[in-house]
Structure 1
Amino acid sequence: MASAMLTGASRRALLALAVGGFAIGTGEFVMMGLLPQVASDLSVSIPQAGQLISVYALGVVVGAPLLTAASVRFQRKTVLLVLMSWFAAGNLLSAAAPTYSLVMLGRFVSGLPHGAFFGAGAVVAGSLVERNRANSAMAVMFAGLTVANIVGVPLTTILGQHTGWRAVYAIVGVIGLLAVIAIAIAVPAKAAQEQAEQNVSIVHELRAFAKPEVWLVLGVAMLGGGGLFATFSYITPMMTNVTHYADSSITWLLVLFGLGMTVGNLAGARMADRFPTHTLLISLGAEIAVAVAFLAADHNRVTAAIAIFLFPLTALAGLPTLQGRIIALAGGAPNLAAASIQAAFNIANSLGAYLAGLAISAGHGYGSANAVAAVLVVIGLGLAIAATLVERRRNGNAAALSEPRDRSQYAEVN
């Protein structure tokens, strides 16, 4: 049985998963800092270059359910190794692709394993600790993704500005290969054995989606995350054209963005272990406030920098609740449900980038992305309130969005 405290082996396994998260986070978010360079190199407009963000997200949406369904009977460790190898290969293809169409293909291929990797990784991470620390354990894995926005994205943005964006995706591919090695060494062998012994069926996995609460949680993820991506898909042109930051300042603004993600993820995990309902509702309400304030804050360098820190902080604070909740709702068949939350966040990525791109293309300016963000999160908050009411009515108490009383949804891996 997993102990309440992390063992050395458990800690190493979580760190190995975090390396994978770091690779994925860098590959997913670095495009935001390089849109002007990518658009110029491929001879397309900035909104067209923004579609490279959307097509990656589309890959996640397509790949999360399909690859999870295809791999549900296989050993988890093997699945993680194959998916991370796939991700690395997709980024190397993105680096080598000579045309806009082939780069689009490379980004789509890179996105396919994203959701399935985080879905399988979340189940493994949650199994390494006792139930009341599962959210925190999963947050360690996702910390790799958020730390990527403090270190990986800023450093690769600088590299891309000086040597070209293609070198960035080559490096992301190499980091992905390093993650493969780390997972091969550190993830316990029992993680693989347990998955094979469970003989999980896809029909069993799909039963979770008969619950309306699952769809409400996915809707919250899509719309709450859509607000974040509506703004940050175009944060570079917004800061250079509206706030009048120099190109060289974008790197440090991206560091602020990454710090906000990391603080929000870790603080949200601690709060979600104790107050999941309140954590989610407060995070969404705060995200709306920041998005609205950003409409005016993007005209001043100081207030824009503050908003860049607070926006991802408020958005990511709700992620541990959503991830933990959907696994809880799935009961003993968490694989597809855990992957679906990643698909939902990447629908958010695609939806936010697409709608903000429409507003910008219609002539409303780069700042209009913040208005799009606020509208999306308002709808997401409405769904979160609906999810709370539905579950309270079902349970007859105030335990909505809480964790289950046992850990049967996690496989024992240590």
Structure 2
Amino acid sequence: MPLAVYILGLSIFAQGTSELMLAGLLPEMAGDLGVSVPRAGLLISAFAIGMLAGAPILAVLTLRWPRRTTLLTFIAVFVATHVVGALAPGYWTLFATRVVGAFVYAGFWAIAATTAIGLVPPNARARALSVVAGGLTVASIAGLPAGTIIGQHLGWRAAFWTVAVMSAIAMAGIVATIPGGRASASAGSAPKLRNELRAMIEPRLWLAYGTTALSTGALLVTFSYLGALLTDTTGLGEGWVPAVLALYGLGALAGITIGGRTSDAHPFRTLYVGLTGLIVISVALALTASAPIPTIALILLLGMVGFGTNPALNARVFTVAGDAPTLAAAFNVSSFNVGITVGPWLGGLAIGAGWGYPSVAWIGAVLGVVALGSVALGAALRRRPAEAVPERRPTTAATT
């Protein structure tokens, strides 16, 4: 892997820490801002809103910009939002910075993915994407607890300053490693919106987006309520929750690393194995949630199979999009965030209906089955065009 790919992963780590760290800072933020904890929790929803909209809008607006310029612009705005957030006098100023910061973070994700695949040969795309996405996995293992500790000891504003500094360091890495100049398509010309929109008509691309959203929702519906499940159903003390979640993060890191090495050569096989594993583990977790040892082991495996499909989900979109990858990658970022939003919402409905915390794992299994069906349909559509192409006779002087 070129050093630039790791720099992009570092950039995602810095920004992803901001995405995750509020989960551990809400009580301190609520007290300082003079709002309730549920209202402070809306700052997490604000980030999700920005993520959903940012990638496709910014991909279109910056399509013909040089990629290094685009990446630097996005991360510079991200740094500025965290400086303003750290100095925010009130709740609504901070709310606005969360929306804007997530908006440019989503755009950065899409351009970073497109840039990464342009730096490596086609048979290393999934591995490069696993390095970039691995930045968020490392953020869940190290960035989330570190941000929480900084916030608890130095105040939540110090955590925002830390993210701003880390992002500024990543900016320096981008300047040093990402090639300058205008982004170009394989044909040698600058990307054109017409070509990007034409690629979006491809049904297999939208099927891939469906797989991304469904598989992400299948994982997040369970992950979002793991803490409550561990204390309420499994019977573990609250002190065990961070350790078990860190174990989940280690599994996720192992999964995305393995998936990055298998997805280039065997993308559909990686998706089949990963989603089947997600279904089986979700069912097992629902059935054994009251037993501590099996539950802890299954949470480790849940992170592994859940993130093991990530490189294949990303690489598949680039394969289908061909020479017009930028807008396609942007919508895939939005698809991940659809799953991140809808999965926990479905879990909340089930818990609110009194079905208990194990019900979220059952929902995850059902979503996994639907995702697996979408992969099978995608595999069938991939074969169909080749079978439908009629044999072309060679043109000769006699026939002409």
Q: TM-score range by the shorter chain?
A: 0.7 to 0.9
Cα offsets for 1:167-203 (capped at 9, x unmatched): 43332232222211221222122xx334497332222
Among residues 298, 304, 323, which one is paired with 1:307 in the alignment?
298
Q: Which amino acid aligns with 1:221?
A: T
8 Å CA contact 1:68–1:336 kept in 2: the answer is yes
Q: Which amino acid aligns with 2:54?
A: G
Is 2:141 the counterpart of 1:150? yes
Among residues 32, 36, 49, which one is paired with 1:43 in the alignment?
36
> Paired residue for 2:66?
75
Structure 1 pair 185/294, CA: closer, same or farther in 2 (3 Å)?
same
8 Å CA contact 1:81–1:183 kept in 2: the answer is yes
Cα offsets for 1:15-72 (capped at 9, x unmatched): 2111111113222233445566667774144xx6665444422211201100010000
Structure 1 pair 111/248, CA: closer, same or farther in 2 (3 Å)?
same
Determine which structure has greater relative contact order: mean sequence separation of CA pairs < 8 Å that are 6+ residues apart, divided by chain length: 1
> Paired residue for 2:182?
193
Q: Which amino acid aligns with 2:36?
A: S
Among residues 321, 325, 337, which one is paired with 2:316 in the alignment?
325
TM-score (norm 2): 0.87
In structure 1, C-alpha distance between the alignment counterparts of 2:259 and 2:283, rounded to whole Å: 22
C-alpha displacement of 1:92: 4.2
Cα offsets for 1:85-120 (capped at 9, x unmatched): 222333445555566655543332222123321221
8 Å CA contact 1:35–1:236 kept in 2: the answer is no
Q: Which amino acid aligns with 1:43?
A: S
> Paired residue for 1:211?
202
In structure 1, C-alpha distance between the alignment counterparts of 2:336 and 2:326, rounded to whole Å: 16
In structure 2, C-alpha distance between the alignment counterparts of 1:312 and 1:153, rounded to whole Å: 16
C-alpha displacement of 1:265: 0.9
In structure 1, C-alpha distance between the alignment counterparts of 2:361 and 2:158, rounded to whole Å: 31
In structure 2, C-alpha distance between the alignment counterparts of 1:396 and 1:91, rounded to whole Å: 53
What does 1:78-97 align with in structure 2 at a 5 Å threshold?
78-97=69-88
8 Å CA contact 1:268–1:317 kept in 2: the answer is yes
Over the aligned positions, Cα root-mean-square deviation in angstroms equals: 2.6
C-alpha displacement of 1:149: 1.9
8 Å CA contact 2:46–2:95 kept in 1: the answer is yes
C-alpha displacement of 1:361: 3.1
C-alpha displacement of 1:125: 1.4
What does 1:97-136 align with in structure 2 at a 5 Å threshold?
97=88, 102-136=93-127
In structure 2, C-alpha distance between the alignment counterparts of 1:93 and 1:213, rounded to whole Å: 42
8 Å CA contact 1:54–1:354 kept in 2: the answer is no
Give the secondary-structure state (helix, strand or coil) at the position aligned to 2:234.
coil
> Paired residue for 2:274?
283
C-alpha displacement of 1:166: 4.5
In structure 2, C-alpha distance between the alignment counterparts of 1:108 and 1:292, rounded to whole Å: 36
Bigger Cα displacement from structure 2, 213-222 vs 28-37: 28-37
TM-score (norm 1): 0.84
> Paired residue for 2:387?
396
Bigger Cα displacement from structure 2, 35-44 vs 195-204: 35-44
In structure 2, C-alpha distance between the alignment counterparts of 1:64 and 1:82, rounded to whole Å: 14
> Paired residue for 1:335?
326
> Paired residue for 2:56?
65
Is 2:21 the counterpart of 1:30? yes
Cα offsets for 1:265-319 (capped at 9, x unmatched): 1101111121111111111111111222222343233223222221121111111
Cα offsets for 1:151-171 (capped at 9, x unmatched): 212222333455554443332
Give the secondary-structure state (helix, strand or coil) at the position aligned to 1:214.
helix
Matched residues, percent identical? Answer: 36
Cα offsets for 1:364-395 (capped at 9, x unmatched): 34443323322222221221111111222222
8 Å CA contact 1:33–1:254 kept in 2: the answer is no
- Answer with 1 or 2: which has the greater Rg: 2
> Paired residue for 1:221?
212
Is 2:254 the counterpart of 1:254? no
In structure 2, C-alpha distance between the alignment counterparts of 1:95 and 1:236, rounded to whole Å: 28
In structure 2, C-alpha distance between the alignment counterparts of 1:240 and 1:59, rounded to whole Å: 32
Structure 1 pair 235/356, CA: closer, same or farther in 2 (3 Å)?
same
> Paired residue for 2:255?
264
C-alpha displacement of 1:239: 2.7
8 Å CA contact 2:182–2:190 kept in 1: the answer is no
Cα offsets for 1:191-248 (capped at 9, x unmatched): x334497332222111111111000000010010012222222333333333343443
Q: Which amino acid aligns with 2:133?
A: F
Bigger Cα displacement from structure 2, 276-285 vs 94-103: 94-103
8 Å CA contact 2:24–2:148 kept in 1: the answer is yes
> Paired residue for 1:169?
160
Is 2:339 the counterpart of 1:362? no
Query: Would you say how many aligned residue pairs link Structure 1 and Structure 2?
Result: 384
In structure 2, C-alpha distance between the alignment counterparts of 1:298 and 1:388, rounded to whole Å: 34
8 Å CA contact 2:27–2:37 kept in 1: the answer is no
